Amino acid sequence: MIGVFDSGSGGLTILEALHRRMPDQDFLYLGDHANAPYGHRSNEKIVEMTREAISTLFDAGCTLVVLACNTAAAVALRTLQQKWLPHAYPGRRILGVLVPMVEAITGVPWAQEHPARTSARPKTILLFATQKTVKSGAYVEEVKKRAPTIRLVQKACPGLVDAIEGGTGPKPLAGLIEGYVEEALHEAGGLPDAALLGCTHFPLVRSYFEAAMPESIEILSQPDVVAASLEDYLKRHSEFRKKGSGRIRLMTTGRPEDVNLADSYLPPHLCHFEGGTVL
């Protein structure tokens, strides 16, 4: 069984893509709705909460966990992989959403830092993300290591995760996104080549981003890229892929009756959360 973790409901966009690509795989999703959002919390707290969530998923029988949260992946993943996982859960794996996106942006494998030559043509990409992801500089740093010809213009979107989780109406939500897009385009100083929705909540409102941006700007699909990357990883590490019945189980640290976002944005099979999990 594969675990998927997010600070709230945004990771359901990743889960949906994973299930679509690997329909025979069993998944266990954990949303930390009681503590969401993570964007304004300290790095230490993010590491602590992410570690507790991963422990919950491993103890429930998962052998591999995907951090379907850009903030957690940018802030906590490397620390947990290097300093905690080997002795706490030897033989288990934690993967994040940042690595496959950097590979997709640059066209360079993650392991190939500072390549002697890069085939990446000069281009500008907008990155819409939480304040914490932007402040971490993880995307900019990792892209620069592999393709210094690519310019990444970061735009923090404070309040957007809260608005999505809180079920803000279409008009104020569209206005909020239009403001962020306008600012990002101004900061880019020209028409960018593509945009990355660097928070797994943002694909839930992708249509608003599409409406706010010129049609020529490609929006990179994080869920599809992450799903393809995980499928490739499982082909190379078959010990983590156990054929199942295609069951999906959703857990929340909050009250299931308060987690209504999926009813508006995602298919019915991604709408039924179980409670009782406290981090």
199 is known as an active-site residue: yes
Q: Distance (Å, rounded) from C-alpha 170 to C-alpha 174?
A: 6
Q: SS3 sequence, 198-226?
A: CCCCHHHHHHHHHHHCCCCCEEECHHHHH
Type and span of the H or E element at 28? strand 27-31
Instruction: Please tell me whether residue 141 adopts helix, strand or coil conformation.
Output: helix
Query: Which residue reads 């500008």 in tokens?
Result: 124
Token couple for 230 = 């995980």
62 is known as an active-site residue: no
Which is catalytic among the residues 62, 69, 157, 271?
69
Closest to 161 measured CA to CA, from 206, 219, 200, 212: 200
Phi and psi dihedrals of 65, rounded to 5? -125, 130
Q: Distance (Å, rounded) from C-alpha 164 to C-alpha 68?
A: 16
Give catalytic residues, as residue numbers. Answer: 69, 199
